[in-house]
């Protein structure tokens, strides 16, 4: 699921959103909190939508309103970009477990 | 672990203040200090300067405190409470111009990452900026 493009220093990944209610408030808070642990610049978007949003902005992540079964694309660049993308993918893939802190 | 900005919730209703604090704790977690107050000493609706000062002290952090308020008097009484703090603490407390529930959750999310008081305020106020 993790792929690195040779031409640009971005690490990208994709993951299916399983959560029954989609990207609502609690998942958004968890995703943002996790993203903030990394130095990398991290952007996400719901697949097929035009705009990348800052994964560290809780207001923007909540406002994306991605529905269940949509695919979330993640891209990051910076020193720990690979770890950041991997961590976010496992958070979403595990359906935002309670004990993620 | 570095300190995080504390959050104070000031509503006219104790139930709203408590419910908002519960939401913050459940959604964001316990690493951010959250204090709340609401209602007047008779159990009715209102806000009270000395209760607000107590809440600021409860949520106090070396990084400062962000206050979220509901209507009118909650804001003026919060500003009065800040004025009554020792001078060196006054500049470490801000009253956010943000909706109380959403602002509290977003401010706490930002605070949990170790952000500064100004960053926490900016995130809470992003909501009112549209």
The answer to whether A85 and A74 are in contact (CB under 8 A) is: yes
CA distance B118 to B126: 12
Query: What is the pTM for the complete model shown?
Result: 0.86
Contacts of A26 in chain B (CB under 8 A): 27
By C-alpha distance, which of B42, B65, B70, B43 is closest to B54? B65
Beta bridge partners of B10: B37, B69
* HSE-up of residue A67 (Cα within 13 Å, Cβ side): 2
Of B31, B110, B114, the CB nearest to A58: B110
Look up the ipTM and state it: 0.78
pLDDT tens for A3-59 read 555 555 899 999 999 888 877 888 999 999 999 999 999 999 998 777 899 999 998
- Domain covering A7-78 assigned CATH 1.10.630.10 in the classification: no
Domain boundaries, chain A: 7-78
Residues 6 or more apart whose CB falls under 8 angstroms from that of A16 comprise A69, A70, A71, A72, A92, A93
Lowest mean pLDDT, pick from A7-11, A86-90, B77-81: A7-11
> Minimal Cα distance from B124: which residue of A?
A59
B12 included as an active-site residue: yes
Q: Positive or negative, the Cα torsion across A23, A27, A32, A34?
A: negative
Which domains does chain B show, CATH number per domain?
A: 6-124 (3.40.50.510)
Lowest mean pLDDT, pick from A39-53, B94-108, B110-124: A39-53
Contacts of B31 in chain A (CB under 8 A): 101
> Minimal Cα distance from B126: which residue of A?
A59
Contact B31 A37 (CB under 8 A): no
């Amino acid at each position: 699921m993790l792929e690195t493009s040779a031409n640009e220093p971005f690490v990208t990944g994709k993951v299916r959103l399983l959560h029954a209610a989609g990207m609502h408030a609690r998942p958004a808070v968890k995703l943002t909190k996790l993203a903030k642990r990394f130095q990398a610049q991290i952007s996400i978007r719901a697949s097929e939508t035009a705009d990348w949003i800052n994964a560290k902005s809780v207001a923007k992540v909540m406002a994306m309103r991605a529905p269940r079964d949509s695919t979330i694309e993640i891209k990051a660049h910076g020193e720990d970009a690979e770890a950041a993308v991997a961590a976010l993918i496992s958070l979403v893939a595990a359906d935002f477990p309670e004990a993620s802190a | 672990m570095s300190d995080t900005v504390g959050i104070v919730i000031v509503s006219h209703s104790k139930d709203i203040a408590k419910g908002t604090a519960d939401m913050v704790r459940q959604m964001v977690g316990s690493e951010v200090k959250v204090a709340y107050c609401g209602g007047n000493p008779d159990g009715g609706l209102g806000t009270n300067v000395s209760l607000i000062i107590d809440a600021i002290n409860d949520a106090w952090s070396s990084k400062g405190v962000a206050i979220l308020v509901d209507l009118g008097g909650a804001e003026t009484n919060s500003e009065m409470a800040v004025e009554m703090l020792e001078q060196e603490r006054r500049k470490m407390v801000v009253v956010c111009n943000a909706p109380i529930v959403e602002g509290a959750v977003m401010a706490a999310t930002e605070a949990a990452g170790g952000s500064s008081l100004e960053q926490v305020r900016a995130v809470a106020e992003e909501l009112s900026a549209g």
